[in-house]
A and B are shown apart, each in its own frame.
Chain A
């Protein structure tokens, strides 16, 4: 079957159901959002159908630009942190005995069951002055007195990475566990130190997996909107927070829709760019 092209209309029938579902629950809502982004906003009311570019023109503000840049920056940074920690971590898991691997994976999966709200409040507690980790360090004599580590950029980064880390491991696990153990061994016998072997061979052969994990975490992190409000200061708020604000509190649906679409287009361009760089290096 694989590789064979279906020849007739009945052969395409099994596709009808997923296509229908995708249409109803994904394409139609998305099309509605695209349409709304061109509608006219009715202050105090909702919106009236029409076609105007005013919503997109109104995006051209310093606040939007700064928030967009910050959103992309923190998403990129979280992705970089998650992948650079997650890759060696996953590598060591895959070298463990089968039983130990299962324990680690189940543990990571259980982290996924925690909602963003719980993760956010847990971190805010851990990083607080009154009940947080700094009390422990002060008690151990490593710090003079307990300090507040939140709200702030580092706290936000911690929270986001905590949320995205299990996904990173789950994306990296299959390719890493399929890696032929003879590849690093061959590199060792050819005189490369274990560290060189790790970067030249293990990272080198799995570049595609690393790019995929990076893109996945990047996109995932762009959608985070509770954590910036719990763990960050207002200038750490991401575009998702701004969109929520426009849509719910300002009742400006057309503006929120325009923001969301612009954000999506920029993100897609960045993802395409990342993949293109990954691919190019592969062919070289």
Chain B
């Protein structure tokens, strides 16, 4: 089968486990993000794919060919490092053409290819500049052009945007995504920024602090249907309510009944569960209302940042956050009694 396959990959540095039993199947031409908190092993996984580390056990296959033992310099994968790792003693053009130089390509052809790539990343005319004369965003582009010069089978990026300021980072995200689609090259990006992962990728691989892959899927499916409480909490923000399964399609949060549309298979009554509800799915109603899918409480705090309004409620010790647009802002103020309405379709029930 075409694509990159990781089979039972396990990596240990002495007693420290960096990646635990990873099984992944990444189709060709996709933009994949490895997403997770720091220390979850996402960079290690990328380095294993690049051949900069050897797995303790497991196999890596690319288009059905076993590349586990292939050294990094024979894999032909372009990689952009977190520090960018531009060669300080070479010019921009020499950096970009480095892979051609080690392959003994003619000087003139080297320059031509470097110029093409610099055009591609919108750095035309920077050929003879020194790396030290470039800004952060420009270095970024040089690193990308250099990695693309080998016409890589895989394009690997290790948090390359983390050093840029927020505005530049967002525009580079779009640019990188656009470039990847134009070149139709399989790309893996490591990031701890879930917004970045949502913006750019076809597929998101979420890794947990236990160094395992927790979930893999399209950004929206992961957002809408998180597989466990870690994913629900890590991707976006979520209200996580502890409860128990009381009957088919029904959860008890304290004494309140919550009707839900879907339950995980094989859940028997009495099992403790966690219900994840996105803040934007929660409606706040003024005053106290009784009924199913209703929680009563008081407004603890209102954060109005202009583009959105976040309302924090205290419902008998449970903190709930609701998010709405300024237009839909409910007529409540701090200290008011209020009711939280939770649509059945918005509840994702997870095993605790």
* Chain A residues in the interface with B (C-beta under 8 A): 180, 182-183, 185-194, 196-197, 200-201, 204-205, 207, 282
Contacts and interface: CB of A to CB of B under 8 A. Distances in A.
A194 B74 CA distance: 11
B294 interface: no
Nearest to A194: B73
Give the most central of A186, A188, A197, A201: most B CB within 10 Å. Answer: A186
B52 A190 contact: no
Given A189-B78, A190-B150, A180 B83 contact: yes
B158 to A, nearest CB: 9
B88 A205 contact: yes
Contacts of B51: 188-189
Given A186-B79, A186-B81, A190-B98, A204 B89 contact: yes
Q: Which 7 residue pairs across A and B have the least CB separation, nearest first?
A: A182-B85, A186-B85, A190-B99, A192-B102, A188-B72, A182-B81, A189-B79
Contacts of B83: 180, 182
Interface in B79-128: 79, 81-85, 87-90, 98-99, 102-103
Contacts of A207: 89
Classify the secondary structure of B's interface with A.
Answer: loop
24 contacts: A182-B84, A186-B79, A186-B146, A187-B87, A187-B98, A188-B51, A188-B52, A188-B71, A188-B72, A189-B72, A189-B73, A189-B75, A190-B78, A190-B98, A190-B102, A190-B150, A191-B76, A192-B73, A192-B99, A193-B73, A193-B102, A200-B98, A204-B89, A207-B89
Contacts of B205: none
Contacts of A191: 73-74, 76, 99, 102-103, 150
Nearest to A206: B89
Interface in B148-181: 149-150, 156
A207 to B, nearest CB: 7
A279 B150 CA distance: 31
B52 A282 contact: no
Contacts of B74: 191
Binding site of A, secondary structure by majority: helix, strand, loop or mixed?
helix
Which one of B73, B82, B103 has the greatest number of beta carbons of chain A within 10 Å?
B73
Interface in B120-148: 146-147
A189 B50 contact: yes
Contacts of A204: 87, 89-90
Contacts of B78: 189-190
A131 to B, nearest CB: 45
B77 interface: yes
Contacts of A190: 73, 78, 98-99, 102, 146-147, 149-150
A204 B95 CA distance: 13
Most buried by B among A183, A185, A191, A192: A191
B85 A188 contact: no
A200 B85 CA distance: 14
A193 B102 CA distance: 9
B246 to A, nearest CB: 54
Given A192-B102, A193-B73, A185 B89 contact: no
B72 A185 contact: yes
Contact of A182 (B72, B82, B147): B82
Nearest to B99: A190
Contacts of A196: 102
